[in-house]
Every structure is written in structure tokens, then in C-alpha cells.
């Protein structure tokens, strides 16, 4: 069938083939938000939905994958956090369901994890902060890479998407599949990254408040009100305790995170925790705070993780309409060239 967006589709062809989708657009996994409803809506609209496993147990992930399959016959992925203590059990759950794509997020994949995923025939998508690490991951079997700039919502690195794209795409995109994430709110930006060689793009913030998203109405309202400058990165309080910055809408929860870091640093000093346990505790804090905002609607004390593109999210729209807008904008931009 002829695409309604021929120039965009032509540039997305490699990425779409890899994902098994109509459009090479992933909705990045968002803990608590990317569950069966949003994931199936994204995949049914021709994109690639990704279940956020987050801190789920293997049993919960098992239920979520089965429930998602009941809502879509299209491909979707599962995002696993590398520091999850039951990572290999979660991989086994994905294997039992024949999940087609696994995204490994949150750190360098531990030894054997890429192999364990490939062993049941799934594709592995990874993140990498440097070109050297990206090359190493491709050599050890990764099938695709997501580069994610600091404009993104949630856990972020220090470098902007525009700079990452200029460094990584010329170096890697001819030989490898590279998806660009962070700060994408409109199709003109998608067109630009595709022209630079990206296989496709990943968006989170733009989809978080779609009609199909189960996020609490108060969470959605906070997004609709929020501007780019409200979506700030958390600050590291103690130089001995490296915490990955998190971008979220500024609120009272931001202060609670400072207090949490001081508490964990003290326990680290007292020898009550080692560094790995300290970092895990910080991550549990985020998972709890995000749940409070997304599920309970406490947008004052919870964590309203959002990227800088939040200013471009102004109302609740069905996923299919968001796709139609993004693709039309991309197509118009490419047609004007
Ligand atoms: C509320 C929220 C929760 C997120 N949770 C996760 C997560 O659990 N795992 C992950 O790999 N990325 C997570 N992300 C990042 C997204 O998958 C995606 O890469 C990011 O949102 C893309 O940038 P954008 O927000 O500028 O579109 C989260 C983002 C948001 C906004």
C-alpha cells in the first residue's frame, strides 16, 4: 500500500522493517505510563509501543505482556532496567512470550544479558552514552541503538540530542540502526534526524498524556500547564553518591529528592549501604515518586517526569491523531526541501 507520507516512510524504511511496524517511531517506555493500554494503542496506530517493566516482578511482567498481546496483534517491545535484581528472570518471561524486541536501559548490559535475549530470537535495543561503547555493544550483538539527549524526560545524560545526533549519526548510521530520542515534539524535528541518517525516532513526553494513557488526570493537567523551562534536571547533592539526573516538572518532590540523597549518603558513610545498594535505593525512590504522580495524581509531592517538549503537549489527544500530526509535519518539511 502506498504510504500517506511517502518521503517520511522512505527515510524510515530501515527502521520500520527492523521494528516490524508501519512507522519507525517508538514510544519510549515510561514507568507506570507504558502499560497495556498505551503500548497497544501505539502499536495499533502503526508505531512501536514498549512496555516499561521498571521495578515489576517477573509475575507482573508476565501478566502485562499477556494483557498487551490481548489488545494488539502488532509488534511491541519490553524495556528492562539493567540493574533490576531479577533481570535474567525477566528475560526468561520475555522468552516464554516470544517477545520480539527487548530494550535494555539504565546502564551497561550485564554479562550474558544480550546473549540470553538473542538466544530466544529477539532483537536487542540498547542505549550508549559514547560512540566507543556503542560500537562495543554492536560487536557483542546489539541490533539497534537509541541515543537519548538531555532534553528527554526521566533519567538523562549530560549531552543534548542535537549534539549526540551530530556525533553519533555520521559515525554509526550507515552501518547500524540508530534511533534518536529526547526533546522531539514535532515532525519537522523527526524529518531533520531522519535526513541525518537516523533509522527512526523515539518519543516519550509527547505520548504520555494521550487519551489512551492511564496517567491520572492531574498528571495530564500538569503536563498541559507545563513549559519547557519547568522540566528541570535533578541536582546531585553529594559528590560521593553519583545519582543519574532525572528530568521532571519542578515541585515539592524535587526537594524531597535532595533530602533522600542526604539520607542515603549518610547511610553510605556509616557503612550501612554499599554503593550498589545506595544507587538501588535512589532508583526505588524515583519509582515510588513516579507512581505517586502517575497513578495517584499527587503532582505536588510525586515525580512528574517530563521532557522539555512538555510545552508542546497542550491537550489530550488519541495516539492516532498524534501520529497523524507528527507524520504530516515531517512530510510537509521534507516536501518543502
Ligand atoms: C514519565 C516518564 C517515565 C520514563 N520512564 C522510563 C523508563 O522506565 N525506562 C526508560 O528506559 N526510559 C524511561 N523514560 C524515557 C522515555 O522512554 C523516552 O526515551 C523519553 O521520554 C524520550 O524523550 P522525550 O521525553 O523528550 O520525548 C521515561 C520518560 C518519561 C517522560
Task: Determine, yes or no, domain membership for 293.
Answer: yes
Least confident of 20-24, 77-81, 269-273: 269-273
| pLDDT (mean) for 107-136 | 97
Residue with CA nearest ligand 1 atom 4: 30
Reported pTM: 0.97
| CA of 52 relative to ligand 1 center, distance in Å | 9
Long-range contacts of range 297-302, CB-CB < 8 Å, 24 or more positions apart? 297/216, 297/217, 297/218, 297/219, 298/218, 299/218, 299/219, 299/221, 299/222, 299/249, 299/251, 300/251, 300/252, 300/253, 301/251, 301/252, 301/253, 301/256, 302/251, 302/253
Residue with CA nearest ligand 1 atom 13: 30
Predicted local distance difference test score (pLDDT) of residue 284: 87
Residue with CA nearest ligand 1 atom 17: 28
| pLDDT (mean) for 146-167 | 98
Same domain, yes or no, for 262 and 146?
Answer: no
Residue with CA nearest ligand 1 atom 5: 30
Predicted local distance difference test score (pLDDT) of residue 228: 98
Task: Determine, yes or no, domain membership for 41.
Answer: yes
> Is the pLDDT confidence value at 4 over 90?
yes
CA of 146, closest atom in ligand 1: 19
Closest alpha carbon to 147 in 172, 124, 174: 172
Predicted local distance difference test score (pLDDT) of residue 1: 62
| Residues lining ligand 1, Cβ inside 6 A | 28-31, 33, 52, 54, 79, 105, 148, 151-154, 181-184, 202-206, 208, 305-307, 309
Backbone angles phi, psi at 205, to 5 degrees: -50, -45
Same domain, yes or no, for 65 and 98?
Answer: yes
Strand ranges across the sheet with 246-249: 154-155, 246-249, 231-233
Task: Determine, yes or no, domain membership for 74.
Answer: yes
Closest alpha carbon to 148 in 182, 184, 124, 100: 182
The span from the CA of 229 to the CA of 231, in Å, is: 5
| Average pLDDT value over all residues in the chain | 96
Predicted local distance difference test score (pLDDT) of residue 255: 87
| CA of 107 relative to ligand 1 center, distance in Å | 14
Same domain, yes or no, for 63 and 170?
Answer: yes
Same domain, yes or no, for 119 and 142?
Answer: yes
| CA of 335 relative to ligand 1 center, distance in Å | 30
> Is the pLDDT confidence value at 239 over 90?
no
Closest alpha carbon to 56 in 28, 29, 80: 80
Q: What is the dihedral of CA 167, 334, 182, 122, to 10 degrees?
A: -80
Predicted local distance difference test score (pLDDT) of residue 116: 98
| CA of 305 relative to ligand 1 center, distance in Å | 8
Same domain, yes or no, for 149 and 262?
Answer: no
Residue with CA nearest ligand 1 atom 15: 154
The count of other CB atoms within 10 Å of the CB of residue 335 is 12
Predicted local distance difference test score (pLDDT) of residue 311: 98
Kind plus residue range of the DSSP H or E element containing 191: helix 187-195
pLDDT per position as a tens digit, 191-205:
999 999 999 999 999
Same domain, yes or no, for 153 and 36?
Answer: yes
> Is the pLDDT confidence value at 241 over 90?
no
DSSP 131-190: HHHHHHHHHTT--EEEEE-TTSSEE--SS-HHHHHHHHHHHHTTTSEEEEESS--SHHHH
Same domain, yes or no, for 175 and 278?
Answer: no
Same domain, yes or no, for 187 and 261?
Answer: no
Same domain, yes or no, for 155 and 64?
Answer: yes
**pLDDT band at residue 334 using 50, 70 and 90 as cut-offs:** very high
Closest alpha carbon to 180 in 139, 127, 230, 138: 127
Same domain, yes or no, for 86 and 225?
Answer: no
Please tell me which residue, 304 or 284, carries the higher pLDDT value: 304
Q: Number of folded domains in the chain?
A: 2
For ligand 1, mutation pick of 28, 87, 144, 306 (most atoms within 8 Å of CB) = 28
**pLDDT band at residue 180 using 50, 70 and 90 as cut-offs:** very high
pLDDT per position as a tens digit, 274-294:
988 898 888 889 989 999 999
Same domain, yes or no, for 254 and 276?
Answer: yes
Q: What's the Rg (C-alpha) of the chain?
A: 19
CA of 183, closest atom in ligand 1: 26
pLDDT per position as a tens digit, 87-110:
999 999 999 999 999 999 999 999
Task: Determine, yes or no, domain membership for 14.
Answer: yes
> Is the pLDDT confidence value at 208 over 90?
yes
Task: Determine, yes or no, domain membership for 67.
Answer: yes
CATH code where residue 32 lies = 3.20.20.70
Same domain, yes or no, for 39 and 162?
Answer: yes
In terms of residue numbers, what domain contains 252? 217-308
Task: Determine, yes or no, domain membership for 1.
Answer: no
Amino acid at each position: 500500500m502506498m504510504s500517506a507520507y511517502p518521503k517520511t516512510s522512505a527515510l524510515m524504511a530501515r527502521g520500520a522493517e527492523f521494528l516490524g511496524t508501519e512507522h519507525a517511531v517508538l514510544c519510549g517506555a515510561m514507568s507506570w505510563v507504558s502499560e497495556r493500554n498505551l503500548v497497544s494503542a501505539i502499536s495499533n496506530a502503526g508505531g512501536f509501543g514498549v512496555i516499561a517493566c521498571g521495578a515489576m516482578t517477573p509475575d507482573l511482567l508476565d501478566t502485562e505482556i499477556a494483557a498487551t498481546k490481548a489488545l494488539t496483534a502488532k509488534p511491541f517491545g519490553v524495556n528492562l532496567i539493567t540493574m533490576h535484581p531479577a533481570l535474567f528472570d525477566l528475560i526468561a518471561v520475555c522468552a516464554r512470550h516470544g517477545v520480539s524486541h527487548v530494550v535494555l536501559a539504565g546502564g551497561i548490559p550485564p554479562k550474558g544479558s544480550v546473549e540470553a535475549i538473542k538466544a530466544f530470537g529477539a532483537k536487542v535495543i540498547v542505549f550508549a552514552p559514547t560512540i566507543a561503547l556503542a560500537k562495543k555493544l554492536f560487536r557483542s550483538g546489539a541490533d539497534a541503538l537509541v541515543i537519548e539527549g538531555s532534553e528527554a524526560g526521566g533519567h538523562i545524560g549530560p549531552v543534548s540530542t542535537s549534539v549526540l545526533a551530530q556525533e553519533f549519526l555520521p559515525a554509526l548510521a550507515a552501518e547500524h540502526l540508530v534511533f534518536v530520542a529526547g526533546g522531539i515534539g514535532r515532525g519537522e524535528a523527526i524529518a531533520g534526524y531522519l535526513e541525518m541518517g537516523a533509522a527512526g525516532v523515539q518519543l516519550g513526553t509527547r505520548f504520555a498524556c494521550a487519551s489512551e494513557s492511564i496517567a491520572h488526570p492531574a498528571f495530564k493537567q500538569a503536563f498541559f500547564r507545563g513549559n519547557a523551562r519547568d522540566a528541570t534536571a535533578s541536582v546531585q547533592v553529594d559528590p560521593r553518591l553519583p545519582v543519574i539526573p532525572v528530568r521532571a516538572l519542578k515541585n515539592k518532590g524535587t526537594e524531597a529528592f535532595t533530602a533522600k540523597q542526604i539520607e542515603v549518603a549518610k547511610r553510605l558513610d556509616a557503612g550501612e549501604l554499599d554503593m550498589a545498594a545506595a544507587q538501588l535505593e535512589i532508583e526505588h525512590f524515583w519509582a515510588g515518586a513516579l507512581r505517586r504522580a502517575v497513578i495517584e495524581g499527587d503532582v505536588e509531592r510525586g515525580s512528574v517526569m517530563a521532557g522539555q517538549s512538555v510545552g508542546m503537549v497542550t491537550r489530550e489527544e488519541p495516539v492516532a491523531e498524534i501520529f497523524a500530526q507528527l507524520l504530516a509535519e515531517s512530510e510537509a518539511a521534507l516536501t518543502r526541501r
